[in-house]
Amino acid sequence: MKFFADTADIDAIAELNDIGFVDGVTTNPSLILKSGRDILEVTKEICALIKGPVSAEVVATEADDMIAEGRKLAKIAENIAVKVPLTWSGLKACKTLSDEGTMVNVTLCFSANQALLAAKAGATFISPFVGRLDDVNLDGMDLIDDIRTIYDNYLFKTEIIVASVRSVNHVTQSALIGADVVTAPPNVLKKLTDHPLTENGLKAFMADWAKTGQQIL
């Protein structure tokens, strides 16, 4: 399974990338706002840092305007994936941009039917939001399971990006289901290393080592 960093923070991306932890990056208008950077400038910088797909989102709501924005974003770098919302206009834009050879990430997916439409429109990626479904007392991982089954049934090539990831359990469940990608904030990705038994074991080792009076360096 691939890991995408869900952030526009260059320093956070660079830290994860240095240890081979990042296969791509996803951004959205909220993350651009949080970064305090110009969208074209920061996206270009991310694309230069990361070899994998970098999702940059359109902000228009009509298909023709989405297509125009998508074409402009796609010119930033070869690894841009234009992000469009899962609306009727977004699907029209997806079809046009995909036919032109641009990677497209269809976002804000909350149902299996939506995911089916995105795949038929030629989406490179589909981004179901599991955390937001959990917020309204639905199990977001059920959606991932449904999409995986549908895509496998019909051999769709669209990759499933599990988005709105809130916990390490979302990551584990995504891997068990067979999702292609998890996109998560850097703090969630870093928490994948955490386990109380690891911490307790290390403390015991360090205590015993101190008693030896030895040094390696």
Query: What separation in angstroms does the CA of 105 have from each of 1, 119, 201?
Result: 17, 10, 42
- Take residue 177 and report the two structure tokens written for it: 């289901």
| Owner of token pair 């989405």 | 66
The answer to whether 63 touches 94, Cβ cutoff 8 Å, is no
Contacts of 80 by beta carbon, 8 Å cutoff, 6+ apart: 43, 47, 53, 54, 55, 56, 73, 74, 102, 103
> 3-state class of 94 per DSSP?
helix
Query: What separation in angstroms does the CA of 12 have from each of 32, 39, 94, 152, 184?
Result: 14, 17, 30, 34, 12
Instruction: Check residue 129 and report its DSSP letter.
Output: B
Cβ neighbours around 147 below 10 Å, total: 26
Closest CA to 85 of 53, 63, 52: 63
83 given a catalytic annotation: yes
Q: Which of 34, 83, 95, 191 is catalytic?
A: 83
- Parallel, antiparallel or unpaired: strands 24-26 and 54-57: parallel
Positions marked catalytic: 83
